[in-house]
Amino acid sequence: MAFTATFSSQDGEPRDVYNIDFSVGAGVRGNQPDDIALVQALFRIVHFQLGPTRVPAPPGDSAIDVDGKLGPQTMRFIVNWQRQAKGLNVPVRLDGVFDPFRDQAGLSTVSKTRYALEILNREANNRCRAEGIDNFAELPRDPDIPPFLASALLDRRDVARKYQGPGAL
């Protein structure tokens, strides 16, 4: 289930971030509808609700559905995001999977790479703040996201269920 966590920003201020409980991507165990919808909603903010970005949407895509379904369009966005980030020398895995992140700017304990979802959060949050809009902060109250995602984002905690031990899966 997608959820909201609070981390300290670089300026020491607490900031909300959005995380997923289980991995999203082709061939992984997880792919919960609210986790998928969160990834889709963050892509929508970054690519279609803000000005031009250094990480453009996949060629030919002019929108993304926030429906909680992992289809070809969502996979294009995930793979595109990872490729573009890697091209900007961000150490991410090119595996077509978004994993829950453990902490802000932290590295995966296995691959020693950045979490693509944390980078997407940071891009959405920082660009919304720079452009003076509150789409990121107000995501749980956005009338255009599915009610199941809005409800999930009311859950506030620090750790994804994936990292809470074997009984959490």
pLDDT of residue 113: 85
User: Which residues, given as ranges, of the chain have pLDDT below 70?
Assistant: 103-107, 109, 165-169
pLDDT of residue 169: 46
pLDDT of residue 163: 81
pLDDT of residue 104: 62
pLDDT of residue 160: 86
**Among residues 89, 129, 97, which one has the least CA distance to residue 116?**
97
Q: State which amino acid sits at residue 52.
A: P
Q: Which residues pair with 15 in a beta bridge?
A: 7
Helices (H) and strands (E) in the chain, counts: 4, 4
DSSP assignment of 58-93 equals PTT------SS---HHHHHHHHHHHHHHHHTT----
Whether this prediction's pTM lies above 0.85 is answered by yes
